Amino acid sequence: PIWKERDMSKLDKLADKQYFFGALFVTANRLDTIMERNFAEFGVTTKQWFLSIVVDRLFEDPPTMKQAAYAMGSSHQNIKQLALKLHKKGLLRLDKDAQDARLMRLSLTPEGQQLWQMVRLQRDPFQERLFEGISPEELKTVRGVMERLLHNIDEMDCKNK
């Protein structure tokens, strides 16, 4: 791999936990860079895309900003900024909750759904290429590891509050 060719001779000597910890950051940064480049033609950012996916796919009912923030591992303030930008672009609705007017619920507009459908056409081949050569069994193992990491992070976060 090209990242191994960049004079990182000590990489193979790292303990597995150190390697995995660093690889999480490198993977996130590299994916973000590639995806930002791909999303530029649609006039949206990776984080705006991710918020839209969370709103559209993870909840039965339109989520509140707080629910979306938790699902994304982000702050309420960051999600509010993303939501307002998507709202200004006509891609996201911001509706007051019927029972509690202090809560704002998020949902995609028809224009937002149409845009993300076009993005999906590019995403599918991208995902196929990204996971090329990784077996379903390996993906299942990685899913279990990621679920455990997220659980551990939740526990660490609760203890630090």
pLDDT at 84 over 60: yes
CA atoms of 88 and 79, how far apart (whole Å) = 14
Per the DSSP assignment, residues forming a β-bridge with 64 are 105
Spatial distance between the Cα atoms of 52 and 56, rounded to a whole number of angstroms: 6
Instruction: Please name the residues in contact with 122: beta carbons below 8 A apart, sequence gap of 6 or more.
Output: 38
Residue-level pLDDT at 5? 58
Confidence of residue 156 (pLDDT cuts 50, 70, 90): very high
SS3 of residue 92 by DSSP? strand
Kindly report the pTM of this predicted structure.
0.83
